Amino acid sequence: MEHVRVTFPTVRLVYIDGEESGNTNEVLRVDAGTHLFALGNLANYRPASRKVMVRDTTALEPLQIRFFRKDAA
């Protein structure tokens, strides 16, 4: 079992491989392998999605996957 934390300034739904799977800024469980992370169809964040290999994480040190507001520097 792997652990990720998808970060964003506000609470948003997290989509893993196109399926709703929890919220931003929380530790989420995911199986190892390459996954596609996104925050849904809203256009005000970047990048639009992130393709990430998830492996060798722990619950203490989840992989951080960062998203930003589009208007942020």
Q: Which residues bind other proteins (CB under 8 A)?
A: 1, 3, 5, 14, 16-22, 25-36, 51, 53-55, 58-60, 62
Q: Cα separation of 63 and 52, whole Å?
A: 10
| Residue owning tokens 């992989």 | 63
Give 31 or 71: the residue with its C-beta nearer to other proteins. 31
> Residue 22: is it exposed, middle or buried by C-beta count within 10 angstroms (0-12/13-18/19+)?
middle
Report how far apart the first and last C-alpha atoms of the chain are (Å, whole number): 34
Q: How far is the CB of 43 from other proteins (least distance, A)?
A: 19
Find the shortest distance in angstroms from Cβ 21 to other proteins. 5
Nearest distance in Å: CB 27, other proteins: 5
